[in-house]
Amino acid sequence: MSTTYVTTFSKDHLELYGNRFLQSFTNFSNDPLVLYAEEFTWNNSLDFNSTIPEHIEFKKHIDYLLSKTKDKKEIARLKKALRWSYKSFAIIHALENLNTDYVIWIDGDVETVGKVPKDLAKKLCGDKLLFGYKQKIKQELHIESGFVVFNLKHPRIKRILQMYKLGYYFKQVLDLPKPWDGFWLAHMCEIKKIRKEAILSNAPFKSIKNSFVHHVGKDKFKDLDFDKYLVDKYLGRNNLTK
């Protein structure tokens, strides 16, 4: 059984967590990694924008909606939809184009901390359609999408692709109160035929803690001086007033 890991992040996030991800994954895993890189290259990485031109249309649509509102909550909502759309578009491309048994989506802010078992995907997912970690956010089902296993040999994988495309190519994800990729994936998993073929585990990352740690929120900055990073990267020393 073959497994391919997939992720995406931008050049701006290399120092923040990308370099840590690439170095640690390379150190502990022998499985191939497909990186959809935004504005940089790494080994045999794929250029996100040229490989996934469909995302340009999604971004243009978000920009259009942003230009039509001054509501701060709606602006934040749309920006979050765009922020997490890169992941879903990369997953769509991977599920359609990779020749492998399993695709594992792994967030770029995950650190590999121990040897990754070659049969990890099979142990987690087996013959089922997908494996993920479920959460409840304000009583709504949400999938912690930092680590999701997809079984490309499952007969219903085409249904997963269809649902992802409905969400992002046809923009139905924007109908959700919280248009995050994790809520759209949860929406898929509530469909009866998919729910029966999905393994949704509690306690995100607990079952893979010997291999992976997910750094979320400010924990992304664990190897950096948080305040210094913000000053250097986003404010700029020359723009500071005395």
Tokens of 227: 């305040």
Strands 130-137, 46-47: pairing kind? unpaired
pLDDT tens by residue, 33-87:
999 999 999 998 999 999 999 999 999 999 999 999 999 999 999 999 999 999 9
Whether 223 shows a pLDDT value over 50: the answer reads: yes
Q: Tell me what the mean pLDDT of segment 211-238 comes to.
A: 57
- The domain limits of the chain are 3-239
Task: Determine the pLDDT at residue 220.
Answer: 58
Using CA atoms, how far residue 90 sits from 165, 174, 224, 231, in Å, is 12, 18, 28, 31
Task: Determine the pLDDT at residue 211.
Answer: 98
Task: Determine the pLDDT at residue 138.
Answer: 84
The interaxial angle of helices 85-97 and 72-83, nearest 10 deg, is 30
Task: Determine the pLDDT at residue 216.
Answer: 82
Task: Determine the pLDDT at residue 222.
Answer: 56
pLDDT tens by residue, 120-155:
999 999 999 999 999 998 889 999 999 999 999 999
Q: Say if residues 143 and 134 touch (Cβ distance below 8 Å).
A: yes
Measure the CA–CA gap between 44 and 6, rounded to whole angstroms: 13
Q: Say if residues 177 and 131 touch (Cβ distance below 8 Å).
A: no
Measure the CA–CA gap between 134 and 136, rounded to whole angstroms: 7
Using CA atoms, how far residue 158 sits from 42, 129, 153, 155, 220, in Å, is 30, 10, 10, 7, 34
Task: Determine the pLDDT at residue 239.
Answer: 34
Strands 33-38, 3-10: pairing kind? parallel
Q: Which fold has domain 3-239?
A: Spore Coat Polysaccharide Biosynthesis Protein SpsA; Chain A (3.90.550)
Whether 229 shows a pLDDT value over 50: the answer reads: no
